[in-house]
Structure 1
């Protein structure tokens, strides 16, 4: 006893029902036939790769606490937080822009902080 099952496949020109014959004698499982080779269409799913945008928030926090000459560390911290917010929203370009600004401010703050600390140590040690 043959069961006839129809499998609905989407072809290039719309939905066309294709009759499939079941050669199984079991009635427990549905009968699925092999589709015709040209009847299937492919689906492409583009998965957005997460680009890692460093926000430099730890470095900015360090500069805010220890190397805060001319408030550059605090400004760098503010840009780092803006970068993290933009990354959470999904604005990768804005996040990269804020992260670049925070990086430049962190470099300036660190260099200026080290130079001024060395100058202060030299002045105190020489008694000038």
Structure 2
């Protein structure tokens, strides 16, 4: 974990004079802020790679995630952040493609099911596709 120190002035410059000398006093406080280590999104990339890999986006995301993890271990935080961000973007695109694919498949299955039910009802009613009664001999 990296610690960053920043000096922040609490008040404006204050001048004191003791008659002979003017003294400037400026108060500061030190704030220690812990930076987050960049995320490599390796699990998400594995899921995108294994379960749905449109246009090899899951593979590209997995490669960027591994690069981000390697850079993080080497201490190159900026490169790790860049590769992690790229992996996240590729994972988002892959996940959106997957959701659209699932939605299209649900719609196709629903339409095919309703067509199948309609055909089965027509067969049970004794009609063929042209609408004529083919039930049998009426004599």
| Alignment pair present for 1:92 and 2:77 | yes
Aligned to 1:116: 101
Number of aligned positions between the proteins: 82
For 1:40-119, what aligned pairs fall within 5 Å after superposition?
Answer: 51-119=36-104
The structure whose residues are more often helix, as a share, is 2
1:73 shift after superposition:
1.1
Does the CA-based 8 Å contact 2:48-2:58 persist in structure 1?
yes
1:121 shift after superposition:
2.0
In the TM superposition, structure 1's runs of 4+ consecutive aligned residues that sit over 4 Å from their partners are none
Stretches of structure 1 lacking an aligned partner (at least 5 in a row):
1-48
- TM-score using structure 2 length: 0.54
- Mapped partners of 2:36, 2:74: distance in 1: 14
Stretches of structure 2 lacking an aligned partner (at least 5 in a row):
1-33, 116-139
- CA-based RMSD of the aligned residues comes to 2.2
- 1:48-77 CA distances to partner (integer Å, 9 max, x unpaired)? x66411100001001111121221111101
| Secondary structure of 1:55 counterpart | coil
Does the CA-based 8 Å contact 2:57-2:91 persist in structure 1?
yes
